[in-house]
Structure 1
Amino acid sequence: MSDASVLNLAAYKFVALDDLEALRERLLERARVAALKGSILLAEEGINLFLAGAEVDARGFLSWLRSDARFADLQAKESWSDVQPFKRLRVKLKREIIRMDHPTIRPVDARAPAVDAATLARWLDAGHCDAGRPLLLLDTRNGFEVDAGRFAGAHDWRLQRFGDFPAALAAHRAELAGKTVVSYCTGGIRCEKAALLMREQGLEHVLQLDGGILQYFQTVGARHYEGGCFVFDERGTLDAGLRPTPA
């Protein structure tokens, strides 16, 4: 943990929610009592949260949240910082917890197949997947995030926002043919929707990187990765040890 005292949590889950207003109020009150800051997004398709605070308070909030059966298996990526990286607490209701504007993609119905970090690192060592197909890593983040760091050789379609992904896929689909495609993003939420869309459109060998870059760093470190991982808070960019990189 080092000497850092602020625990940062990043978590999401696609799960059907039908009590959004009441749930928002409960989450807001509990997070305020725990003196947490950051953001929680709620939509009919699930929850997406980035929160930070003292370790006992952050873990207590997560334990309380998991007492709701819908979030019992919620997995959180953890990192540490010396200071609180968020200025305020926000709990917001959204149409989607990550906006794609493609209503046929419903992760609450079926999760996209995933590859874990250790397996991906092994495939990258070998240069192919276990079936012998060449690998193509597809970065589903915005262009400025990619500029902070990426997997070596990953394809980057210079997205301005995630909602651009469906059109970019239509334009670049031929690049993916005959390959095992692994979509990746910061924590898993964008690459999950991206993988589902690619499968819907007939690409057979598509996987998401389970837990995204943050889980990869936590499990594997910097192997096959160049630079840092951009995060949407005052830390800016994290290194492979999940610590803020020097400005």
Structure 2
Amino acid sequence: MDALKHASKTKDKTVDPLVVAAFYKFVQLNDLASLQDQIESCCRENNVFGIVLLAPEGINSTIAGPREGVVKVLDRIRHDSRFSDLQWKESFATKQPFRKLRVRLKKEIVTLGVPGVDPTELVGTYVKPADWNALISEPDVFVIDTRNNYETEIGTFKGAVDPGLDSFSQLPSWLEKKIDAGEQPRVAMFCTGGIRCEKSTAFL
């Protein structure tokens, strides 16, 4: 009997982990205020917190909440045909990592600071994880770590060049000084989630 009581108490204290979903997509948007209202309302109705950035170039977000709530928010976003193929990466948390919900309108979903850069028009070639190590091992490939300093301090790929960035917006000036298309025709870039690589290869 005592064992059963203990098991019951333990079960009562069990808390399902919160789902953290990170996603982005470059797509032309011209109804930002309407999207902002729809996404914010859906998040609040489903107890989902986090940050959602909307800009004329697309969406960039990390949200967290109960799985059911996060799924409803993602379904609401994907119901829009422009986001029907939206993909996300999941992780889990035992506590809510965000103190509040912020759905903001921005000039860019990731700030490069160079007008006219459009990954929907021109972007680099995607490399599968299984092919990455072979690519960066080739002697004529110039490998660039596009992450910020606090990220590169944790570690990077052997042979990768670290531009020493405090912010992503510093990358264009560094690239203009370091990259010569005639001398280095093959450039491989990496970041954390892919968004900075898309934007920076579009710049190149």
SS in 2 for 1:181: strand
Distance 1:32 1:176, change over 3 A: farther
Is 1:59 equivalent to 2:65 in the alignment?
no
Contact 2:142/2:184, CA 8 A, preserved across alignment: no
Contact 1:40/1:47, CA 8 A, preserved across alignment: yes
Residue matched to 1:88: 100
Is 1:151 equivalent to 2:157 in the alignment?
yes
How many angstroms does 1:108 deviate by? 2.8
Residue among 165, 170, 173 paired with 2:171: 165
Is 1:103 equivalent to 2:115 in the alignment?
yes
Is 1:185 equivalent to 2:191 in the alignment?
yes
Distance 1:47 1:160, change over 3 A: same
Residue matched to 1:34: 46
Amino acid at match of 1:30: C
1: CA distance, partners of 2:34 / 2:46 = 19
How many angstroms does 1:116 deviate by? 1.7
Amino acid at match of 1:142: N
Residue among 49, 70, 91 paired with 2:82: 70
SS in 2 for 1:90: strand
2: CA distance, partners of 1:55 / 1:107 = 31
How many angstroms does 1:22 deviate by? 1.0
Amino acid at match of 2:174: A
Q: Deviations over 1:48-78 (max 9, x none)?
A: 0101111121122112211110100011011
Residue matched to 1:241: none
1: CA distance, partners of 2:182 / 2:46 = 46
TM-score, normalised to structure 1, is 0.71
2: CA distance, partners of 1:93 / 1:109 = 22
Task: Answer with 67-76 or 107-116: which moved more.
Answer: 107-116
How many angstroms does 1:174 deviate by? 4.7
1: CA distance, partners of 2:180 / 2:160 = 16
Residue matched to 2:12: none
2: CA distance, partners of 1:4 / 1:137 = 41
Contact 1:99/1:162, CA 8 A, preserved across alignment: yes
Query: After superposition, where does 1:10-29 map in structure 2 within 5 Å?
Result: 10-29=22-41
Distance 1:4 1:169, change over 3 A: farther
1: CA distance, partners of 2:191 / 2:98 = 21
Amino acid at match of 2:186: T
Contact 1:7/1:55, CA 8 A, preserved across alignment: yes
Contact 1:4/1:81, CA 8 A, preserved across alignment: no
How many angstroms does 1:122 deviate by? 4.4
2: CA distance, partners of 1:89 / 1:137 = 36
SS in 1 for 2:153: helix
Amino acid at match of 1:66: R
The count of corresponding residues between Structure 1 and Structure 2 is: 190
Contact 1:46/1:97, CA 8 A, preserved across alignment: yes
Amino acid at match of 1:195: T
Q: Which runs of 5+ in 1 are unaligned?
A: 199-247
Q: Which runs of 5+ in 2 are unaligned?
A: 1-14
How many angstroms does 1:148 deviate by? 2.1
